[in-house]
Amino acid sequence: MRIRVPASSANLGPGFDSCGIAVSYYLQLEIGEEQANWEIIHQLGDEIPADEENMLVKTALRLAPSLVPRKIKMTTEIPVARGLGSSSSVIVAGIELANRLGSLGLTLEDKLKIATEIEGHPDNVAPAMCGGFVTASFYQNELHYEKHYFPECDLVAVIPHEEFLTSESRGLLPQEIPFSKAVAQSAIANVMVAAIVKGDLDVAGKMMEKDLFHEPYRAGKVPCLREVREIAHGAQAYGTFLSGAGPTVLTLIAPERTEKFLKALGALGDGYTIDSLHVDTDGVQFF
């Protein structure tokens, strides 16, 4: 039995804690036979538990405490603490693991509500679970979400080698912003979502670069953001934004322009992994 979960990119600029896309890096589980104790085989280092303390198992046991331990091989392409939903992918996988092994019969809505309650907001877990482009809100314990088709394009990721923990990144944000700025941000985000649904990446990309909620406060910790954006403008890309809390920077670009853009990004020098990806449309999968 196998479970596959895509990476995810939250916010897309102005869609703070509410918009996200599934990205074609994957966490995969191979579930083995029952045994006396949980055993998670992975290559993520000693700091990641390999027993029942692993987030995957803790999430699954939260839903189905009587699960019989298994040996599980966990492999992932999703870089940790880089703004691509690495922890969300594990939470989604743990919920699916419990649902399958425990025969819980959870609906998509059930699973998404649980994932959101664990993560605190739906912007990563929703696209990881649903695939595609998802807008969602979690307010007064009510979850509402919509999945949309995302227009065809490439996603070019510039991934700094240094980690940037979400807890640290959130600490850079203000507790309050002026009402007028909140109104402007709402308008920008609304136009971005409408443009995506319409299939207009030219307008959507412009709106993605006008965020007022988080990028202005986090940009100082991600110095490559401005440089990547300048290079992307020269390559006629649609738009560039900070992926989630960072430090990964994502650029939306037409496929025929990707190769030229990738070559131009060589000017960044060492210290980055640069990859061409796409939007995953399937979300979590069970084989």
- Give 144's strand partners: 137
| pLDDT one-digit tens code per residue, 160-195 | 998 777 677 778 899 999 999 999 999 999 999 999
- Torsion angle, alpha carbons of 232, 233, 238, 243, to 10: 50
Three-state DSSP class for 177?
coil
Angle of helix 179-198 relative to helix 201-208, nearest 10 degrees?
150
pTM of model > 0.75: yes
| pLDDT one-digit tens code per residue, 74-127 | 999 999 989 999 999 999 999 999 999 999 999 999 999 999 999 999 999 999
Q: Beta 39-41 vs 70-76: how paired, if at all?
A: parallel
Handedness of CA 30, 44, 285, 104 (dihedral sign): positive
CATH architecture of residue range(s) 2-148+282-286: 2-Layer Sandwich (3.30)
Three-state DSSP class for 257?
helix
List the domain boundaries for the chain.
2-148+282-286, 154-277
How many angstroms separate the CA atoms of 55 and 49, rounded?
Answer: 8
pLDDT value at position 172? 87
How many angstroms separate the CA atoms of 40 and 59, rounded?
Answer: 14
CATH class of residue range 154-277: alpha beta
